[in-house]
Structure 1
Amino acid sequence: MFLPVFVLSALSCAASHFCAAAAVQIAQGPSRVPAYGKFEAIIDTDARHKNPYDYDDISIQGVFTAPSGRTIIADAFYFQDFLRRPGPPDAPEGREILVPAGQAHWRVRFTPRETGTYRYRITIRNSDGGYTSPEYNFSAEAAVPAPHGFIRRSATSPHHFEYESGAAYFPVGQNLCWSRNLPESVTGHHFPSNGTYDFENWLSKMALHEANFARVWLGPFNELTLERRQEPGRSDTGLRRYDQEAAWRMDFILAQSASYGMSLMLTLESFNSLRRTLLPHVWRRNPYTAANGGMLRHPWRFFTDKKAKSAFKNRLRYIIARYGWSPSVFAWELINEADLVEGFWRPSVSRWHREMSAFIKRTDPYGHLVSSSYSYLEEYFPFAPPGGIDFVQTHAYGGRDMAAKIVRLGRRKAGWMKKKQSIMPHVVSEFGVSLRDNSPDTNADAHGLHIHNALWSSVFTLGGGAAMTWWWYNYIDPMDLYFHFAPVSKFTRTVEWNRYRWKAARLHASHGRIRALGMTGEPGMPGSRPDGRQIALVWLQNKDHTWHRTAKLRKYPRPVKNAVISLRGLRDGTYEARWIDTWSGETLKTTSAVCKGGLVRLKVDRLSNDVAVAIKSRI
């Protein structure tokens, strides 16, 4: 609830002519909020401005003082509320109808991370000057159960993530980049626009199958595109203006995700905006182009033009102000597949990444992770702090054996990071049998075996998260393949990823048709130690068990019998080996294993498809 409104006459003014010319109403947020909950205040003013979305024109901020004395500044953002209602199921434009509710105004959102009394003021600056409100306060109370907080890179394991609470976070999920309504100009096909109804459906199914992560695009050609070219009669479109229907949809999706305990990586831009060829390209609808009233005549200038960079930073401020309060935001992805931008040039793109990443780290009061993605040329990633990204991504398409592809790309990425002397988490954020929409090869794998193999192989190659499938709306959902997430999620929740120092295991299989992947973990530094015991995680796959062999060739795996897996890298002693069914996540059996001379031997009586093994020393 919001407390009663007070007006500008109660404010202390930094410029008397500002006060005389402007009226301001502020509705204070709730007097009590849980720690890591949302505090929100509403600001309504007729202070002089041409563009309420442009922070160079009018800047409204909340200045908060924590119980510890720390000062946190949060930008306000311009906001229009909507009511959502479904249209007729057979409507040509889909089911979602958004109706404006109330008048547009500014809001400040803030997340208290300490318990106790917070003090805050609202400040406003424009061409007339500025002023500061009286001081107000609210109380942040301990939440039950205690929240995990925001997600960070692990302090102990450079390959993994953790919450502020110290609990491990291992992402398991998929891409949900847009609903089923890409325009015909992009796809050549028409899909009805269901907007948030699609996301509501997908997120609920993912949550039912224990997924905890999704990647969502804020543009450039979907119903979540914030900055789009000017449309007649729309004051929220055009350069440095942000589509309020799109922004409201993202609020809704973020709230839904939070209700399921899921986190989102928000992709802020994509190469498609910066291409005139190679479908799907949307350069002609980019508000930054000269033809649409912007400043760019060539796509590659997006990375070097001062006005373009200033406009993008303005968009970043709006996004951080509106969504950054939420612990459900896992990371900001600056741009999807930057190397596919027309006229791509490594030095300028690298400098742009450093500049934008550093800007986010200065602006985001909650310190969200920052990343970016390339379709292939991972050596172009900028690393060095303070402007470097926090984790790397890989996109993997094609191949008859998805596990083999994931392993090859993972090892290549690991070798490249070692060469750069900058080890950080690695996530396969896109994969698929094919790059083609509704590919016959993808559809032939009706049971999603390539998904299963990609998920499990990525976990056991020092992945920071499970690999993320791409074709969510035309493959995962219609074929109801969500069940693949649950076993991986069950398994990864049993491992304290952030409490160990991990390295690739030295494994050898006595039979050539067994792929053996794994890692060994040494307990972390004092204070982060789980229980002092060594651990090894192993995944064994029958190499015949691939999507191509089973779905295309109709040749089913020949079981491997009486094999032995040799594992090196553990200290001598007695270990407990828990064998896990990768299709259910349940324990099949628990056996004893002895390490002698640094060698553990695991006997595999029969392997038809795959199995996981968690090996832990006994005290």
Structure 2
Amino acid sequence: MKAMSPSPRSLGLWCLLVLGAGCEATDPAWIQIFQAPDGAAVYDLFETAGWLGVAVDNPFDLEQVDLVGEFRDPDERIHEIPGFFYQGYRRELDGDTERLTPVGDGHFRVRFMPDQAGAWRWRWRVDAGERRGATAWRELRVEPPRSGVHGPLRKSPHDLRYLSHVDGTSFFAIGSNMAWAGSGGSYDYDRWLAALADPGGNYVRLWMPSWGFGLEWIERDAEGRLIASSLGDYRARLSRAWQLDTVLERARTLGIQVMLCLQNHGPFSSVSFSEWDDNPYNAANGGPIAAPGDFFTDPAARALFARRLRYLVARYGYASNLMAWELFNEVDLTAFRDKAEVVAWHAEMAALLKSLDPVGHLVTTSTTNLGALYGLDPELYALSDIDLAQFHLYGYEGNDVDLTAEMPRVADYYRAFGKPVLAGEVGVDYRGPAETLARDPHSAGYHDSLWMGLFSETLGTGANWWWDSLAQSQEWYRHLYPISRLLDGLSLDRARLEAHKPQVSAPGRELEAFALAGDGLALVWIRNRANLWFSGHDESPIEGASLSLTGLGDGVYTALAIDPYDGSLRSLPDVTVDGGSATLALPVFSMDLALRLERR
């Protein structure tokens, strides 16, 4: 659609750039800046806007319009932030269904996260073919960060097993997958995120699939004929981008970090949840590739994905609660031809993300267990621009996966790549929530996946997949509270803890213990092996248990016992460590018990 008039209310496409307030006389006449905040705080959003009198057919095509915000920090360094096209919406709940109504005209925005307090200046620069220009510099006062705001996450400089915020605050991910919503749309996330945050959850993983937050897909009429494609032009799906804005902001207010998965495997798979027939990249739908495996090598397909990456960075890259970009979910399930092509694609796109993202968010990807069999994992996680290693671990009929044994083993394999490890998906049965509940009616497998995430030395708890059908309906998130209470106030990345398997025993019982111990701190989890998810359900009291700990620095330690099911606390007698070891008489407990020992 071409702009036919310089009026902001023209039916043609005028570009609103979120970059400033009040047009100054020195601005080009065809640029009308109309909105900007007076200031911002460190690590918060600064967002600005204005009209551009230019005619563009596709506002996502940089050959037609390239919008960049320039921000000069107090040390005179320039930060360049890409602009993006935006449409606002108003939401309302109609029964159980979210309804979205467009608000105002479509426009561009620039979103920026300042990382330094002081006097900044900013302007925006436009290259729109025959029209090029830049506004006058404007002033921006940035205040120190608000209380409790710690900035984006990084690999900890103290311990590469863990993450920390840029201000040094330690972070351990306690959470779940929440890949897509139901008919309630962003209202679903209002409920789900609050339910996760209430017991101490601080992390979720979101997807961008065709039926969720995805920007590129096709439309068919009632007879199945192709009528539209949003490949490279996302205007038809900007309501979904607005929903993701809303969810990210809701997560931020609740202190929840988000890993955003940019591409699920189905659109480029021929066998695993295949969506190839409706994929806009498919040549049958007007796309550039004839087979799904061509996605990794075709120049046009790579250029289109790169365009999408730029848009995503421009729109969401400001967010200090964006833990990581995940390039692909389970890329080994796509119809790739050669692993070298997949690795080269990841190298290219991860490097592009790093170059585009002014905040420098972490980057990862994921595979199933086939990634190791195909030899993909070692090459993917050897890439310098892939920051986190990730594994997905499931049981299935005929495979009663013992998470207490398998999670440490798998985590050790991925940790060998020299990067923090995330248990991105863990469950007792990959086939579905009904199968999971039938095999694990007491949620013991879910419970164990949380604790083994910690004691397998990963950066967070194991993440459940069945977020809506089980975590909500079965109230699974209650299991998060005890582990968040155990870790409250601790900085795991500074504690220099090492994993141990302590000796534990009780008359007539088969117990197992896991510990992370260091010079002045020990965390311990003891569990009854008769209460594993596949071995039965045993809530009988365990009496007379004794624990032998090693790996501690000498001294007197306070000891706190935590019930891993309800989070209740019990103070225990002080423990004296001599020669790096100590023996504890454990209180009576049922199913399992957690301990926190700290040197006085």
Partner residue in 2 for 1:31? 38
Note the C-alpha offset of 1:333. 0.6
Please tell me the root mean square deviation across aligned C-alpha atoms, in Å.
2.6
Structure 2 residue aligned with 1:617: 599
Which of 232, 237, 247 in structure 2 is aligned with 1:253?
247
Map 1:211-222 to 2 at 5 A. Answer: 211-219=201-209, 221-222=210-211
Cα distance in 2 for partners of 1:607, 1:332 equals: 41
Residue of structure 2 in register with 1:271 after alignment: 265
Structure 2 residue aligned with 1:536: 522
Is residue 390 of structure 1 aligned with residue 387 of structure 2? yes
Q: Tell me, yes or no, if the aligned pair for 1:296 and 1:302 is still in contact at 8 Å.
A: yes
Corresponding letter in the other structure for 2:594: A
Asked whether the equivalents of residues 403 and 445 of structure 2 are also in contact (C-alpha less than 8 Å), the reply is: no
Instruction: Tell me, in whole angstroms, the C-alpha distance in 2 between the residues paired with 1:479 and 1:606.
Output: 27
8 Å Cα contact 2:19/2:33 also seen in 1: no
1:518 to 504, 515, 518: 515
CA distance in 2 between counterparts of 1:570 and 1:273 reads: 51
Is 1:125 aligned to residue 141 of structure 2? no
The alpha carbon displacement at 1:231 in A equals 6.4
Quick check: 1:48–1:128 contact (8 Å CA) kept in 2? Answer: no
1:307 and 2:300 equivalent? yes
Tell whether 2:214 aligns with 1:225. yes
User: Which of the numbers 572, 590, 609 marks the counterpart of 2:554?
Assistant: 572
2:188 is aligned with 1:198: yes
Structure 1 residues 369 and 178 mapped into 2: Cα distance closer, same or farther (>3 Å)?
Answer: same
Query: What residue ranges of structure 2 are gaps of 5+ in the alignment?
Result: 1-17
Distance in 2, matches of 1:385 and 1:341, equals 20
Q: Which residue of 2 is the match for residue 145 of structure 1?
A: 147
Q: Equivalences for 1:54-203 in 2 at 5 Å?
A: 54-87=61-94, 89=95, 95-128=97-130, 130-145=132-147, 147-180=149-182, 193-203=183-193
- The match for 2:575 is 593
Partner of 2:57: 50
Distance 1:113 1:466 in 2: 29
- Superposed displacement of residue 383, structure 1: 6.0
Structure 2 partner of 1:459: 454
Distance 1:494 1:610, change over 3 A: farther
- Aligned CA distance change for structure 1 residues 238 and 352 (closer, same or farther; 3 Å): closer
d(CA) in 2 for partners of 1:254 and 1:100?
19
Q: Secondary structure at the match of 1:584?
A: coil
Residue identity opposite 1:122 in structure 2: W
The CA distance in 2 between the partners of 1:368 and 1:617, in whole Å, is 36
The Cα offsets for residues 563-606 of structure 1, whole Å up to 9 and x where unpaired, read as 33222222333333222221233321222223333322222354
Shift of 1:386: 7.2
Q: 1:578 touches 1:590 (CA, 8 Å); kept in 2?
A: yes
d(CA) in 1 for partners of 2:143, 2:227: 41
Deviation at 1:252, TM superposition (A): 0.7
* Alpha-carbon distance in 1 for matches of 2:427, 2:358: 36
Look up the match of 1:525: none
Equivalent position SS for 2:547: strand
Percent of aligned pairs with the same amino acid: 29
SS at 2:596 equivalent: strand
**CA distance 1:266–1:272, change in 2 (3 Å):** same
Contact 1:395–1:428 under 8 Å retained in 2? yes
Matched, 1:411 2:405: no
Give 1:505 deviation, angstroms: 1.8
Can you give the 5+ residue segments of structure 1 that lack an aligned partner in the other structure? Answer: 13-18, 181-192, 523-533
Which whole-Å CA distance do the structure 2 matches of 1:563 and 1:487 have between them? Answer: 21
Change (3 A) 1:316 1:60: same
Is 1:380 the counterpart of 2:392 in the alignment?
A: no
**Structure 1 residue 240: Cα displacement:** 4.4
C-alpha distance 432-33 of structure 1, shift in aligned 2 (>3 A): same
The Cα shift of 1:443 comes to 4.5
**Larger deviation: 391-400 or 133-142?**
391-400
Amino acid of the structure 1 residue aligned with 2:350: S
CA shift in 2, pair 1:429/1:615, >3 Å: same
Q: Do the aligned partners of 1:506 and 1:568 also contact (CA within 8 Å) in 2?
A: no
> 1:358 deviation in Å?
1.2
Q: Counterpart of 2:10?
A: none
Label 1:295 to 1:577 Cα distance change in 2 as closer, same or farther (>3 A).
Answer: same
Q: How far 1:503 sits from its partner (Å)?
A: 2.2
**1:80-137 deviation digits (Å, cap 9, x = unpaired):** 11111222x2xxxx51111111110101111111111211111111332522111112
Which residue type is aligned with residue 596 of structure 2? A
* Equivalent pair of 2:527/2:593 in contact (CA under 8 Å): yes
Distance in 2 (CA, whole Å) between partners of 1:455 and 1:521 is 21
Q: Distance in 1 between matches of 2:381 and 2:480?
A: 34
Bigger Cα displacement from structure 2, 232-241 vs 196-205? 232-241
Q: How far apart are 1:407 and its partner, in Å?
A: 3.9
Residue 399 of structure 1 and its aligned partner are, at CA, apart by 6.3
Give yes or no for contact 2:232–2:307 (8 Å, CA) kept in 1: no
Task: State whether structure 2 residue 23 is matched by structure 1 residue 6.
Answer: yes
Distance change >3 Å, CA 284–CA 78, structure 1 → 2:
same
Given the alignment of the two structures, is residue 371 of structure 1 paired with residue 388 of structure 2, yes or no?
no
- Higher deviation after alignment, 77-86 or 39-48: 39-48
Deviation at 1:607, TM superposition (A): 4.3
Distance apart, 1:208 and its partner CA: 2.0
Q: Which amino acid aligns with 2:411?
A: K
Cα contact 1:80–1:103 (8 A) shared by 2? yes
Please name the residue that 2:5 is paired with.
none
2: CA distance, partners of 1:403 / 1:591: 37
User: Aligned in 2, Cα 1:344/1:545: closer, same or farther, shift over 3 Å?
Assistant: farther
Are residues 327 and 402 of structure 1, via their aligned partners in 2, closer, same or farther at CA, if it must alter by over 3 Å? Answer: farther
Conservation of the 8 A alpha-carbon contact between 1:403 and 1:457: no
What is the distance in 1 between the residues matched to 2:40 and 2:573?
49
- Residue 432 (structure 2) pairs with residue 432 (structure 1): no
Q: Secondary structure at the match of 1:10?
A: coil
Separation in 2, partners of 1:521, 1:48: 64
Report the CA distance shift for 1:599/1:125 in structure 2 as closer, same or farther (over 3 A). same
CA distance in 2, matches of 1:601, 1:413: 29
Residue 543 of structure 2 is aligned to residue 546 of structure 1: no
Deviations 1:433-460 (Å, cap 9, x if unpaired)? Answer: 2112332442564442222111112111
Give the Cα–Cα distance (whole angstroms) in 1 for the partners of residues 227 and 480 of structure 2.
Answer: 41
1:133-186 CA distance string (max 9 Å, x none): 111121111244252111111110111111112111111111111112xxxxxx
What CA distance in whole angstroms lies between the structure 1 residues aligned with 2:512 and 2:332?
33
The residue aligned with 1:487 is 482
Partner Cα separation in structure 2 for residue 60 and residue 406 of structure 1: 51
Deviation at 1:370, TM superposition (A): 0.7
- Closer, same or farther in 2 for the Cα pair 1:106/1:3, shift >3 Å? closer
